[in-house]
Structure formats: C-alpha cells, structure tokens
Chain A
C-alpha cells in the first residue's frame, strides 16, 4: 500500500488519511487537535478559519498568504505547508502580531481572533507592506461582531518592521515546492491534480462527472451547503500553463489559473479598470485563491470579474479535445450559469486587447461597501475620438441571468459627443434592455434604476 499524501502543518508532516473531495483543510486541522481555526460560516465570508499558507511566487520565493481553510478542499491539500495561530508564538513569547492584539484590546469574545491574527500575520510578512500603516484590506475578510474593529485596526497599524531573527523570516528564506502532480487514492481514483493541460482534457474525457476546481471559492461554498457534492475533483493548481502572464503590443494574456492576488501584483496598476475591481471583488482571503478562470466558468450573473473582462473586450482561450479555440466573452455566456464551455474544455487564459479604452470605470452597488455581493455592478469602457464616442462597452451584472453587455445603450452612444445627450439616449435605450429580478439584495426597481444611474455617474466622473 502506498503511503498517504502529506500535509505540512506547523512544520510537521502530517499524513492525510481518508482524503475525499469534500475533505476541508479546516476539518483536518481541527481533527489534529488544533482548535484555533474555527468554522464561523463555512462559506469563506467570516475568516474565522483563516490559516497561513506558503506559496511560491513567480521568482520562486516563498510567500505567506492567508486563506480560508474552509474553502481548501480535497485535491488541493497534499503538499500544502500551512500554519495555524497555535504556531505563531515562540514558546511563551507571543508573536508581534499577537502582542499587538493583546495590547490594543483586539479580542473580546476571542472566537474570531485566531483568524484575525492570521490575516495580520500575512500582512506583517507582505514584502511591500509599509510598517506603521493599517491597510484595512488586510483584515477585510475577517468578521468581528464584538470590537467594532477599531482596536484591531490600531493593532495592525502598530506593527513595526519584521525583525532579522524572526522565525518565519527564516522559514521564508527556504524554498516552497511548487504544487506537484498528484492523484489519489490511485491513478484511477476520484481526485486528481495533473501538471499538464492535455492531462486535464484527458481526465475530463475519462471522468465526465468530475468537476474542475482551483481556489474553490465558489465550488467550496456550494459543497458546504450541499448544493454540490462532487465525488471526482480535478485540481488545476499544479498546471503551470494556466499561470501564464504575457504582454505584447496587441494583447495582455492572463492565465486562467493565476490567483487574483497574483494578477494584481503582476499588473501593477496597468489596467485601471481592474485596479478598481480588486478591492470591490472580495477580500484578500478570497483573492489569494480565486481566479479569473473560475469567475468566468461559474458564470454567475453577479461575477464581478466577468463584467470587467466584458468591458475590456476580452476573449477566452479554451482548450478541448479538438485543440485551442478563442471565443469573445460577449459570446461566452449563454444562460443562467451556462456558458459555451464544453464539458471537456478548460479555460486556459483570457486575452485583453490593447490599447485600453481611454475612459473606464468599475462600479459596484451592494449593501455593504466591501466584501459583499453586487446588487448591480457595472464595468464601463469608452473610446473617445475628438470628444466623440468611437467605441463603448457597457457591461452589467445583476440585471440579467448572465453578465451582460448593454448593446442597445452602447449603440446609442456611438458617434455622439461624450455629453448629456448621449447619456440620455443611452439611458433611454437601457430602460428596455433588461428586466432585472428583485431578491434579498435589492428590488427590481432599484436594479433598473441603478443601471441608468451608474451610467450617469460614469459620465459625470469622466466628463472633460
């Protein structure tokens, strides 16, 4: 019998017995007698289960990233290096992050505290952090119901530079192996983590019921609520070809499997529309795992990434048994959570044409300003030539069964000066374009009104 795959928890190799599709990192950690990570929601919203994960960045260096352990499932587990709140202190000496939380009164009931400590530790070791500043994004994925966050924010802001003798700095100096190919319990079994793209296609052919998974930030939620119970999962995390990032004069090509946090780093602000998207998309706890490929494939009508890509006029590069094909995203979504992606195809990358539109904005209306799901979101991009609209892409989420472009409103803009008349015409065209539904996020009336209001706002903010 083969030895079971291993996970490295707080520096200790730990065998993964009984690894199934639905096995969550959180449960494994708790079963080891480590109660620090807690299940506050099981849907990646509260951060109480956050743990540190070692990730290999593109230069091969080790980085520490906080992830929701409730959303790390099955085939993602083997070979992971993770640390829980229990491992931060050195003997009786608290970690600087823990000391700061104690000093500022950052814990009351304490249930969310280990998760906050982990997110703060990830921030503490972030190479481009400015010591002494509290970046609220660093704790944006952790909910606390007791403190009101002020003491936690102050604790975060009090963190100085990392000392030279820090135990984790020494760990960070060591390499982290890349995700390796893995299949279990044997090559014919239900969980796979291949290295090559064509293996993915072959596995999809062989296991028609298998689901592709990367960060599981959507599928993991579906699994938690019992809406999806896949038995066969194919993890894309080891496929290097999905992590491409290339730029030439005509295109920007972004691998479908690059975590959003890495896309953000690589772009370095080069696509302003996406810069606006990131903080509104989700917390860092999610962005460290979520991918553009996942956002497209789940085809949620409120998938913020899909809208942004629609406005950027991107196309998807798909690989199937017949080889590679390219599909404009405007043709990709066909119905509620339905796409043109065939059962045996995988999204390889998205290609964004260059140059970018001169005026572009991403807007999101939600009950809470951050870390919420859109009531209506919009991504707008307008090319202007001598003050007139030469091209327009108005993409909306939350107004139709799919992420959608407002084609009639776009047409109403073309050729007109970028001014109130064009906007009034486009707003009138918008009225007939969508029949949004009302739900617990917002009424149909509000959604319909927002579609036009956001266009008004866009013009107002980009007018000469």
Chain B
C-alpha cells in the first residue's frame, strides 16, 4: 500500500490552511462586496440607486454596469450572462454589488439599495418551458437499432416517468475571490475556482485587458464539486471591477444564503420512458426522453445533457435504444456542473426502469440487472467498445460474495416476515462511468517542473485542489518520476502565470491529465540528467538507477542534489514544461457515434436499509463497495473519494431536497432547511475495497479517475429503499419519488400519494 497522506493535512488540522477569503485579512484598505439580489424571478431593472446605503458607516460605493471598463458579460459558452444585468432572470440574481470597508457594513448597505423593477412573466417549470419551445440549446439524440419496431414486437412493455430533484453543492467554503493590484499595476485575482484559465479570461474581458495583464491563482478550495467549474468567474469579475473602480483590493465572499440563492445547482431532470423486455427481464428496446431544467442561461447544460445521453445505459447492453435530451430555459439560477455531470440523472433512470421491469415480472432485480450486463465485445449505444466489460461481472460477483448478499437477503426476508412495522431492504447496483471531457479539446494539460540547485523541486500544473487530493497525487507522481525524496518536492498553488491555457479541473480528469503532464516534464529532466549521472558514476547510462534521492551505478552512488549541481555547472537546463493530450478520442455528435471516452471506470455497491412503516423514516444499516481505481496513486485519497462520493450521492437521493416558492424564490436556502448528510447518516458498517489486478493501460502509472464515478454507487440506497417498500407492500412495482425523503417513502408505502389521498376520503 502506498500511504500518501494529504499534502495539506497538517495545515487543515491546525487551522493554518488559508482559503481565498483568509488572504484578504492582511490587506490594508481591502473592501468587502455584498450582492444586491433580485426580488423578482424575471423583471426589467428600471433603476438602481444607492439610497439609504450611503448613510451606512463604512459604505464606499455601489458597483453597477457603468463601472465595467470592458464587456459587461461573463457568459462562457455564449453571451447570455450579464455581470450587472439590466433584466433580471431569476429570483436572487445579483444585479449590483455594494463595496464597504467591512462585511457587516456592505451587507447593511446592500439592504438599503433601492431597486425599481418592472416585473415580467416568469417561467418556473421546465415542462412548461419545453412545451413553449423555450430551450437553451438544440435537442440531442443518440439512437441505435430500431427501438420503435423492437418495442412493438417485445413480449412486455412498460411506460413510465421519473422526476429527479436538483442538488445544492454545499461546498463548505462558499464562493470567494480577492482582486489586488500587483507591483506593476496589473491584476492578481485570487479565486476559489476550478478553472483559473477561464476565470483569468473572463476577468480580462470584463476589464477590457489582454489575458497577460491578469494572473489568476487558485490556492485551494474548500470544496467545489463542479460548482466552481464555471460559476466562480462572475465573482472574480466583480472583485476585479471593484478593484478597477476604487483602486483598493476587493474581496467577494458569498454568505451561505447568498451563495445558495445565487449559484446554480445540479440539473433537475424529468424522464419519460417506454421499455420493451422479455420474460426473463432482458431489455429489448428502450425509448427515453430526458428534459433538464437548465435555468436562465446555457452555462454547461449542453455537455451535461450529452453526458446524460451517454450514461442512459449504465452497465447494460440495450440493442435498440433511443435517447433524446432537451434543456429547458426557466427563470431559475443557471444550473451547472455537479459531480457526475448529468451521468447520475440518467443512470438513476435506467436503474429505476430495471427495478420496475423486475418487479413487474416478479423477478429478483439483482438477476435482471445481471442478465442485462455488457459482455466482452459489446459496444455502447454510441458505438464505443466497452473495453474491460468483464470487470462489471468480476466486481459484481466478488462484491456479492464479500458482502454476503445471498445469506443476508434470506435473513432480511426472515426479519420482514416477523416484523410488522420495521421492514428491511437490500440492493446491489453497478456503475460504469466514461472518463474524458466529452468536449475533446479540453483533454489536454500542461506542467512546469523546476529543479533547484540543491535538488529541491517545485511542481506547477494546471489542476486545482478542491479537497479531492489532486496535489497529493501529483506529489506522488513527481516523486516517483524523478525518484527524489518526497520531502524534496513541493506542489505549488495553481497560477495562470505558471501554466497557461489549462482546462477546468473537472470530469474526474485532474490526475489523469495533469499527472501525465507532470510525468512528461519529469521524464525530460531525468533524461537530461542521465548522461551527467553516467559520467559522474563512471558507468553506462543504462546502468544508472535513480531511487528516492540517490543515484546509483558502477557500484557507487551520489545524492540527487549533487547530480543536479553537477548538471547545472555543465549548463544543463533543470526545468521543463510537460504536456499531455488524451489519445484516441473521436466522437461525432451529429451522428451520435464514436469514442468520446478514453476508458470507463467501474464499481458496485450493496446497501441495506431499514424503514419505519409508520412514518417512512429509515436508516442505512450497512454499505459494501467494490470500486475500480486501477493501480491506485494514493489509496487513502481514492478511498476518501469513494466514501465521500457515495455519501454525497446518498444525500442527493435521500435527504437533500430543493424547494422553491411560487415567486421562484429558493425556500431551502441554508443548512437548517437543506439537509446534507451528517455524521449520523454515515452507514455504521461501511466496507470499501479497491478492485485488485486492475491496472489501467495508457493512464498515469496504471491508475484510474475516481472523482465522480463513486457518486453513482449511492443508487444502491435508493433501490434498497424500494426493496423495503416492496417488502412492506407484498411485492409489485414501487414508484418512489426522488429525493426519497421520509415523506416520499411514506407515500410509496401507501401506493403513491394520490392513491393515499383518495383512499382517505370517506
């Protein structure tokens, strides 16, 4: 086991780790920004006046569109996001910002800013928007075979629908940025961003400056999960405009309620499907229509829907399949990236379908799932060969054994027979998740590795650290590639003046891409050092051996630092840039055919739950996971991603419910009303294992991406709840709302809410 502790753990536990807002503290003259938020979901802004804000002690000024020296526009895909909008498009949208000498004053002043609106009609329902043809992008479609013919000839057919709620990221550190002037009057923006290059570009656009005048640094983030892939840009832009307007450093820190009401979330989805299947539960044909609520602007909604279309199959071969996706424009915050990026929504749909098929036929859902697995040689509905398809079954069989599922299922049946009001359920679900940005050009990364004369090393790369352990893995890659002592290597904060034109740290790709780029740089440096080492050691180059800070050969050895100094004196460059582009990607979106993914990540989870039939409340008693991370770069980091992803996915599917008011205002706007899992929700028995013999060729040191795939392991909890409900109801299909709050479980126990209501009528 390679034990590599988190490279910032010591700073975390002592409170010494700094986040963007903390950097503002020591800045003389720093101003704090507070948003003036819309009280309408859709309205023309007629006028904004400072009004009573001027009387607040500490108030400095109100920022409006007039203060923007460049373009008043922060949209990245197309110009549909004004920084200071003349038309507000959702309740809570920031329409201007107050600057004051402290946060309390900026908040008080923002409350006193006078805004005059002319309200416009708002669309708050994605179905209604879609019906009116109000879509954010062109509909997408992938088809294989002839699903409508195959449906007609199928022995069984089932139609249904499913609605999936959104999800608040609830990174513990809300959005934040700090803009300061550097020594020559250019702009340094500290931003809690997953995408410093884009933040740099947007700040440059808003200031009307070339990119070289802007440096963006992402020191570390207190969580991001996709929420800071794109949406951090606007806050950095506000800080930069504030700096431009006042000449003083400006800090933006969104208070939690502001963050939750301003920022976009995971896309809610509505699915309609018709499935045809055989007597044994084998799926013969499937037609699915997916509709997402994109919110007011495009953001990343199109590629998110694309990933949903790619993942409607999960682990299952469906010969005749058609899937369409539309993104509705509504007067909601612009929904955005969130761990899984559309994949989870589609995968829950297919798991829901499989369970309904199984229970319709009176079969064990586990068997029906198995029967439909991809086998070696199969291709997906978009024509990509499912490489390593045998891993699906290998994981499945091993997990069934490790988790003792057969015996436990029997014990649960026994328990349920003897228990009237406490019903248990167990379920196993698989995961297959495609790894690569589906927008091919993002699959590139750069690095800059600097070796100093004393043998110590700085590693710069384009990836950002948000808690996922990227810097820990990069540290391991650099240490291994250079064969130096781990203490000699420092991974630097991510800055756009070190590595330019980077991609977002997203799509689980951080260590695959940046790790390979760092490896490339290290290999170049090793290559240059090799002849020097051979000369110093007096042996042929192929006998030189680098190992953990020592260089050996010819029966002798020298420290790495001596080799480095000798190379310097010989005028050998001790730094290198590294680069990586993912090979073999080729996808034609017009035809819906090709290879969008470098490879697939696999896993499976077993969950056992116990439901109280009086109230619908439940607890997750035990979870077993087997997940494929290839040859792990850091087992502790990978296990952390698996467990954390699972619990976050469980939150999305159980307790995390976003509620909106009739005016389009978010009602669940803080942790008192929006319930992410707490420590008591962590399964008391939580076994997590990494798949052995799982080397992944063509990926850095045989590893695999791990950020997103485990999120979908939580589907086992939803299916286990359904099994418990089925046990209480004595069989048959179970319609379960999502998130499966106790209330939804309660209605499912009673055969659906409308049924329960009508049955309670006298």
Contacts and interface: CB of A to CB of B under 8 A. Distances in A.
Given A145-B225, A449-B746, A101 B670 contact: no
B172 A109 contact: yes
Interface residues of B, number: 82
B476 to A, nearest CB: 14
B679 A443 contact: no
B731 interface: no
Interface in B614-649: 614-617, 619, 636-637, 639-640, 643-648
Looking at B26, B172, B619, the one whose CB has the most chain A CB atoms below 10 A away is B172
Interface string B649-691: 0000001010100000001101111011111111000101000
B13 A101 contact: yes
B255 interface: yes
Contact of B14 (A85, A111, A457): A85
A443 B743 CA distance: 8
B221 A143 contact: no
B172 A365 contact: no
A158 B680 CA distance: 18
Contact of B671 (A22, A43, A139): A43
Interface string B448-492: 000000000000000000111100000000000000000000000
Contacts of A109: 171-173, 220-223, 466-467
A125 interface: no
Contacts of A36: 14-16
Interface in B171-198: 171-173
A371 to B, nearest CB: 5
Contact of B644 (A108, A111, A143, A371): A108
A203 B648 CA distance: 49
Interface in A144-163: 144-153
Contacts of A136: 679-680, 682
Given A102-B10, A149-B682, A372 B256 contact: no
B217 to A, nearest CB: 17
Interface string A46-85: 1010000000000000000000000000000000000011
A145 B648 contact: yes
B2 interface: no
A43 B640 contact: no
B682 A148 contact: yes
B615 A450 contact: yes
Looking at A34, A88, A151, the one whose CB has the most chain B CB atoms below 10 A away is A151
Interface string B1-39: 000011011111111111100100110000000000000
Contacts of B467: 107-111, 146
A37 interface: yes
A114 B16 CA distance: 9
Contacts of A89: 14
A457 B614 contact: yes
A112 interface: yes
Contact of A144 (B8, B172, B257, B747): B172
A312 B64 CA distance: 58
A456 B614 contact: yes
A140 B679 contact: yes
Interface string B721-762: 000000000000000000001110011000001001100100
Interface string B211-230: 00000000011110100000
B374 to A, nearest CB: 28
Contacts of A2: none
Contact of B741 (A85, A367, A453): A367
A33 interface: yes
Contacts of A112: 172, 222
Interface stretch (A206-214, A337-345, A397-405, A434-442): A434-442
A108 B25 contact: no
A370 interface: yes
A147 B640 contact: yes
B656 to A, nearest CB: 8
Interface string A404-444: 00000000000000000000000000000000000111110
Given A85-B14, A150-B682, A373 B673 contact: yes
Contacts of A457: 421, 612, 614-615
A367 B15 contact: no
A11 to B, nearest CB: 15
Interface in A16-57: 22, 30, 33-43, 45-46, 48
A440 B14 contact: no
B352 to A, nearest CB: 21
A206 B660 CA distance: 43
Nearest to A373: B672
A349 interface: no
Contacts of A368: 655, 675, 677-678, 680-681
A86 interface: yes
A371 B644 CA distance: 20
A225 B255 CA distance: 10
A289 to B, nearest CB: 16
Nearest to A103: B5
B530 to A, nearest CB: 36
A111 B657 CA distance: 24
A111 B742 contact: no
A36 B645 CA distance: 25
A235 interface: no
A454 B614 contact: yes
Contacts of B14: 36, 85-86, 88-89, 94, 98, 114
A371 B172 contact: no
A189 interface: no
Contact of A370 (B19, B172, B225, B680): B680
Given A105-B640, A143-B671, A143-B676, A148 B648 contact: yes
Contact of B13 (A48, A102, A151, A440): A102
A150 B643 CA distance: 7
Contact of A145 (B25, B170, B680): B170
A150 B678 contact: no
A140 B680 contact: yes
A34 B16 CA distance: 8
A306 B524 CA distance: 70
Contacts of B221: 109
A50 to B, nearest CB: 11
Contacts of B19: 35, 38, 111
B562 interface: no
Interface in A140-186: 140, 142-153
Interface string B417-449: 000010000000000000000000000000000
Contacts of B695: none
B9 A102 contact: yes
Contacts of B248: none
A260 interface: no
A221 interface: yes
B127 interface: no
A445 B752 CA distance: 12
B223 A41 contact: no
B104 interface: yes
Contact of B173 (A111, A139, A144): A111
Contacts of B170: 143, 145
Contacts of A102: 5-6, 9-10, 13
Interface in A80-131: 84-86, 88-89, 94, 97-98, 101-103, 105-114, 117
A35 B15 contact: yes
Contact of A372 (B5, B9, B616, B675): B675
A268 interface: no
> Which 10 A-B pairs rank lowest in CB-CB distance, beginning with the nearest?
A36-B15, A109-B467, A111-B222, A148-B647, A110-B12, A85-B15, A440-B659, A45-B671, A108-B467, A98-B13
30 contacts: A22-B104, A35-B25, A38-B172, A45-B671, A45-B672, A86-B15, A98-B13, A102-B13, A105-B639, A117-B13, A136-B680, A140-B679, A142-B679, A143-B678, A144-B679, A145-B171, A145-B644, A146-B640, A148-B646, A148-B648, A148-B686, A149-B682, A363-B615, A365-B616, A367-B675, A370-B678, A370-B681, A442-B743, A445-B756, A454-B614
